[in-house]
């Protein structure tokens, strides 16, 4: 078992009448990529802000290597944070701001300069070394935002929605970069993008309305909602015909998990391909018609849907 | 050390925004230039302030001779009075109400006869009365009346055959020489221009919040003191540049010409006091920033602090002494609690006396106020903007 680097115990935070985070308890291990998955407003950023010391919790505690971060600036300097919004000094060049923030974290000037050049190279930003941040494109600014969190070589890196607003090219580059950090550093990332979480994270905590709903590896989480594949059928027909189609699907395969979301019938079952002809026939008999159909594997979206009854993007 | 790095970063940001940078630096020279334009006439002609309208009811020669005498009065080689003879009293009254004249002199109809009677030793009747009409609350009236009265008395004395008149001779304060209003205003103007650093330093700190870069400082656990000291240092560099440019502009426009105002010691003291004064000004900027969320807030709240600093400090016009208590022989007044009052006093003493020992009280007071203001500013900023 790897060492626990970061631990939260019953972390809670209220904003007026809204409980943004409720009794969040986590253990994050050294060298893992840990994902916070949840829709916008789920409490991910509030949790992150408490973990990195930007916000004081109403109750609970954050421990890094078993030591509380409360009042200990030295410990939180071992954390690097890439905030969700782009935070750069517009009129400083890429190199200047890396060097400056490195020095603010206590790096000697020479080391700050060395680390700045290294990170610019790693993120393919050498050509923009002497460009002021305000002249960079949105994608390049996001890349800069990311490496600003790393200049002081922190042990724990927190990335809040690192792929938000990225163009495809930058998204690939950032994802590769995050994966390159694995094992060297402990990475905590928040996202509402299930694909990002699935591909990048070793373990995921699903959070909604400030509550931790489930935690585990992506495959563990997907297994919790059942084995097998998912058949998605978009139905044509009126509401009663669609309800009849749902009932027919449930009658055909009682052990399957069947749901109707407006005109989308979702059936999770073992041997989906084998059952498909019968299922289509039953739907036809119910008076509805399949306008579109696909078979796919379970996703984290399904896990979230089962846990909350809502989709991540709703 | 972080403070120096933050100062360097802040100055770099200013330099990369040339329009803003030039705008900040152009404040003092523009103020000096403005003041020069306002006082340019005063340097050449006192008459622009001593505007006198005369209604001459005298049918003899003495009334006209009195007017000629007034017109001939000179100050520093130039006519001292702007004398205009008008036909009707009503016309003069309108001019007085419109402040186009400071005083209306009415020479009575029997003026020549009265003087002739006096010369002949006759106790003539009725007595001739010269009238000085005007707004007794007006500075221009009081100044004009005080200035011309001895001349008129002297003229009457001579023309009455009572012997030569006794005139007053103007003597200047030691060290002021023949300094004009422009020279006298420059130290106060430099203090005045530095006060705008309240807004620029507040704005500089607020920008860190507006662009969310304050979050980076918070994440790096940069202390409020370092941040505030860094921005403060950058503002002090700006202050030195502002004072230098403002002072050079003043010198180019004639400040201290022909006087000892440009002695190195006086200039050194002027700069020293200016730089010291910049510190509490930046402290007030911190207080402003602590309560501001954007540039607009900083400008509005900064102005609220700036206005009393200007108007209650005696920079623009003298304030009445409101003694509160005494330290030794020195009475401490209500307005001494405002740093610009002490800065203004120190800077005036610096340029008029050129003696560092004369600055002990205002500089000591300024130092004390600086410590208090900066401490309050840093604490408020830390509490309101940097605390988790």
Q: In terms of CA atoms, which chain B residue is nearest residue A148?
A: B216
User: Of B159, B189, B215, at which residue does a domain stop?
Assistant: B159
Residues of A with Cβ-Cβ distance to B219 under 8 angstroms = 52-54, 76, 79, 81
Q: Are residues B303 and B155 in the same domain?
A: no
- A278 in contact with B at a CB cutoff of 8 Å? no
- A81 in contact with B at a CB cutoff of 8 Å? yes
Classify A266 as helix, strand or coil.
strand
According to the model, what pLDDT value does residue B179 have?
Answer: 53
Q: Are residues B308 and B218 in the same domain?
A: yes
Per-residue pLDDT, averaged over A225-254, amounts to: 84
- Say how many domains are in chain B: 2
Q: Are residues B182 and B325 in the same domain?
A: yes
Q: Are residues B186 and B206 in the same domain?
A: yes
According to the model, what pLDDT value does residue B47 have?
Answer: 58
According to the model, what pLDDT value does residue B213 have?
Answer: 92
pLDDT digit string, tens, across residues B162-199: 877 776 666 655 544 445 667 778 888 888 888 888 99
CATH architecture of A226-297: 2-Layer Sandwich (3.30)
B171 domain residue, yes or no? no
Q: Is the pLDDT of residue A200 over 60?
A: yes
Q: Are residues B64 and B17 in the same domain?
A: no
Q: Are residues B251 and B340 in the same domain?
A: yes
Q: Are residues B296 and B250 in the same domain?
A: yes
The better pLDDT of the pair A185, A273 is held by A185
Cβ within 8 Å of A, B 211-240:
211-213, 215-222
Q: What count of other Cβ atoms lies within 10 Å of the Cβ of residue A181?
A: 16
- A153 in contact with B at a CB cutoff of 8 Å? no
Mean pLDDT score across all residues of chain A: 87
Which residues in chain B show pLDDT less than 50? 175-178
B166 domain residue, yes or no? no
- B18 in contact with A at a CB cutoff of 8 Å? no
Å from B276 to nearest chain A CA?
27
Integer-rounded Cα radius of gyration of chain B: 28
Print the SS3 string covering A274-287. Answer: HHHHHHHHHHHHCC
According to the model, what pLDDT value does residue B177 have?
Answer: 44
A89–B218 CB contact, under 8 Å: no
According to the model, what pLDDT value does residue A313 have?
Answer: 56
**Alpha-carbon distance B161 to B119, whole Å?**
5
B122 domain residue, yes or no? yes
Q: What count of other Cβ atoms lies within 10 Å of the Cβ of residue B75?
A: 14
Residues of B with Cβ-Cβ distance to A72 under 8 angstroms = none
Q: Where are the domains of chain A?
A: 4-223, 226-297
- A48 in contact with B at a CB cutoff of 8 Å? no
Q: What is the CATH number of the domain that holds B96?
A: 3.40.1710.10
Per-residue pLDDT, averaged over A285-309, amounts to: 82
Å from B204 to nearest chain A CA?
12
Q: Are residues B258 and B142 in the same domain?
A: no
Per-residue pLDDT, averaged over A87-103, amounts to: 96
- A103 in contact with B at a CB cutoff of 8 Å? yes
B107's enclosing H/E stretch is strand B103-107
**Alpha-carbon distance B219 to A53, whole Å?**
7
- For the question of an ipTM over 0.85, the answer is no
Percent of chain A with pLDDT over 90: 33
* A101: its two tokens: 């923030």
Q: Are residues B197 and B334 in the same domain?
A: yes
B346 domain residue, yes or no? yes
* B303: its two tokens: 């102005």
B237 domain residue, yes or no? yes
B245 domain residue, yes or no? yes
**Beta partners for residue A230, in sequence order:** A268, A296
Q: Are residues B52 and B82 in the same domain?
A: yes
A55–B388 CB contact, under 8 Å: yes
pLDDT digit string, tens, across residues A42-58: 888 899 889 888 888 99
B169 domain residue, yes or no? no
User: Of B126, B159, B192, at which residue does a domain stop?
Assistant: B159
Per-residue pLDDT, averaged over A107-132, amounts to: 94
Residues of B with Cβ-Cβ distance to A79 under 8 angstroms = 219
pLDDT digit string, tens, across residues A64-73: 988 888 866 6
B16–A52 CB contact, under 8 Å: no
Q: Are residues B138 and B235 in the same domain?
A: no
Relative orientation angle of helices A138-147 and A168-181, to the nearest 10 degrees: 10
DSSP letter at A93? Answer: B
A-B C-beta contacts closer than 8 Å = 56
- Identical topology for domains A4-223 and A226-297: no
Q: In terms of CA atoms, which chain A residue is nearest residue B15?
A: A91
Q: Which domain holds residue B143?
A: 46-159
Where do the H-state alpha helices sit in chain A?
Answer: 44-51, 73-76, 94-104, 109-122, 138-147, 168-181, 194-200, 218-224, 239-252, 272-285, 300-308
CA distances from residue A231 to A224, A242, A271, A297, A298 in whole angstroms, order as listed: 18, 15, 10, 9, 10
Per-residue pLDDT, averaged over A194-202, amounts to: 83
Q: What count of other Cβ atoms lies within 10 Å of the Cβ of residue B385?
A: 23
B213–A104 CB contact, under 8 Å: no
According to the model, what pLDDT value does residue A223 have?
Answer: 79
B219–A54 CB contact, under 8 Å: yes
Residues of B with Cβ-Cβ distance to A92 under 8 angstroms = 9, 12-13
A104–B222 CB contact, under 8 Å: yes
Q: State the DSSP string of B5-34.
A: HHHHHHHHHHHTSHHHHHHHHHHHHHHHHH
User: Of B159, B191, B225, at which residue does a domain stop?
Assistant: B159
Per-residue pLDDT, averaged over A21-35, amounts to: 91
- A88 in contact with B at a CB cutoff of 8 Å? yes
Å from B330 to nearest chain A CA?
46
Q: Are residues B220 and B365 in the same domain?
A: yes
**B351 close to B259: Cβ distance less than 8 angstroms:** no
B164 domain residue, yes or no? no
Q: For residue A241, what are the contacts with CB-CB under 8 A and spacing of at least 6?
A: A235, A286, A287, A288
CATH architecture of A4-223: 3-Layer(aba) Sandwich (3.40)
CA distances from residue B283 to B152, B182, B280, B376 in whole angstroms, order as listed: 55, 30, 5, 8
Q: Please name which of B203, B208, B280, B267 lies closest in space to residue B239, comparing C-alpha atoms.
A: B280
* B184: its two tokens: 């006298």
- A52 in contact with B at a CB cutoff of 8 Å? yes
Å from A58 to nearest chain B CA?
11
According to the model, what pLDDT value does residue A135 have?
Answer: 95
Q: In terms of CA atoms, which chain B residue is nearest residue A73?
A: B221
Classify B110 as helix, strand or coil.
coil
């Amino acid at each position: 078992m790897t060492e626990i680097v970061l631990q939260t115990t019953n972390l809670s935070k209220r904003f007026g009448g809204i409980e943004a985070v409720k009794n969040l308890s986590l253990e994050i291990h050294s060298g893992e990529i840990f994902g916070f998955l949840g829709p916008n407003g789920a409490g991910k950023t509030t949790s992150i802000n408490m973990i990195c010391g930007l916000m004081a919790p109403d109750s609970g505690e954050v421990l890094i290597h078993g030591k509380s971060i409360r009042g200990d600036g030295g410990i939180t300097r071992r954390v690097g944070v890439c905030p969700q919004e782009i935070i750069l000094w517009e009129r400083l060049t890429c190199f200047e701001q890396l060097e400056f923030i490195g020095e603010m974290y206590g790096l000697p000037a020479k080391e700050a300069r060395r680390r700045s050049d290294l990170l610019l190279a790693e993120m393919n930003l050498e050509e923009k070394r002497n460009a002021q941040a305000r002249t960079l494109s949105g994608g390049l600014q996001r890349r800069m935002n990311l490496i600003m969190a790393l200049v002081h070589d922190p042990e724990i890196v927190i990335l809040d929605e690192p792929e938000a607003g990225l163009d495809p090219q930058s998204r690939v580059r950032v994802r590769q970069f995050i994966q390159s950090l694995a094992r060297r550093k402990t990475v905590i990332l928040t996202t509402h993008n299930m694909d990002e979480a699935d591909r990048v994270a070793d373990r995921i905590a699903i959070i909604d309305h400030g509550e931790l709903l489930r935690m585990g590896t992506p495959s563990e989480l997907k297994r919790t909602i059942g084995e097998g594949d998912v058949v998605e059928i978009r139905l044509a027909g009126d509401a009663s015909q669609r309800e009849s189609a749902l009932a027919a699907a449930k009658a055909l395969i009682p052990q399957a998990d069947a749901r109707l979301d407006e005109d989308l019938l979702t059936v999770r079952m073992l041997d989906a391909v084998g059952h498909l002809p019968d299922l289509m026939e039953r739907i036809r008999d119910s008076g509805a018609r399949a306008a579109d159909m696909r078979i796919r594997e379970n996703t984290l979206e399904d896990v979230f849907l089962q846990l909350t009854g809502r989709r991540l993007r709703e | 050390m972080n403070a120096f790095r933050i100062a360097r970063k802040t100055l770099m940001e200013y330099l990369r925004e040339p329009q803003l940078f030039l705008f900040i630096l152009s404040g003092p020279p523009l103020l000096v230039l403005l003041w020069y334009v306002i006082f340019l006439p005063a340097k050449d002609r006192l008459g622009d302030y001593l505007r006198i309208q005369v209604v001459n009811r005298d049918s003899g020669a003495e009334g006209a001779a009195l007017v000629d005498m007034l017109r001939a009065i000179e100050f520093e080689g130039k006519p001292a009075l702007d004398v205009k003879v008008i036909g009707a009293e009503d016309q003069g009254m309108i001019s007085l109400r419109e402040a186009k004249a400071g005083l209306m002199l009415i020479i009575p109809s029997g003026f020549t006869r009265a003087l002739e009677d006096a010369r002949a030793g006759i106790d003539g009747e009725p007595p001739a009365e010269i009238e000085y009409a005007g707004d007794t609350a007006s500075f221009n009236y009081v100044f004009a009346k005080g200035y011309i009265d001895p001349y008129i008395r002297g003229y009457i004395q001579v023309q009455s055959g009572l012997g030569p008149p006794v005139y007053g001779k103007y003597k200047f304060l030691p060290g002021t020489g023949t300094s004009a209003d422009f020279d006298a205003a420059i130290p106060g103007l430099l203090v005045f221009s530095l006060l705008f650093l309240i807004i620029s330093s507040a704005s500089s700190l607020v920008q860190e919040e507006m662009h969310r870069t304050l979050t980076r400082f918070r994440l790096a656990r940069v202390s409020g003191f370092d941040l505030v000291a860094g921005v403060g240092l950058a503002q002090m560099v700006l202050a030195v540049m502002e004072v230098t440019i403002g002072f050079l502009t003043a010198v180019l426009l004639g400040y201290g010409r022909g006087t000892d105002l440009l002695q190195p010691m006086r200039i050194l003291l002027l700069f020293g006091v200016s730089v010291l004064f910049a510190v509490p000004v930046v402290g007030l900027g911190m207080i402003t920033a602590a309560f501001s969320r954007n540039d607009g807030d900083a400008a509005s709240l900064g102005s609220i602090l700036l206005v009393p600093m200007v108007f209650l400090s005696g920079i623009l016009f003298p304030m009445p002494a409101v003694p509160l208590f005494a330290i030794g022989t020195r009475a401490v007044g209500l307005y001494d609690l405002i740093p610009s009052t002490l800065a203004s006093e120190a800077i005036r003493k610096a340029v008029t006396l050129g003696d560092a020992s004369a600055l002990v009280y205002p500089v000591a007071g300024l130092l004390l106020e600086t410590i208090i203001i900066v401490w309050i500013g840093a604490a408020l900023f830390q509490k309101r903007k940097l605390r988790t």
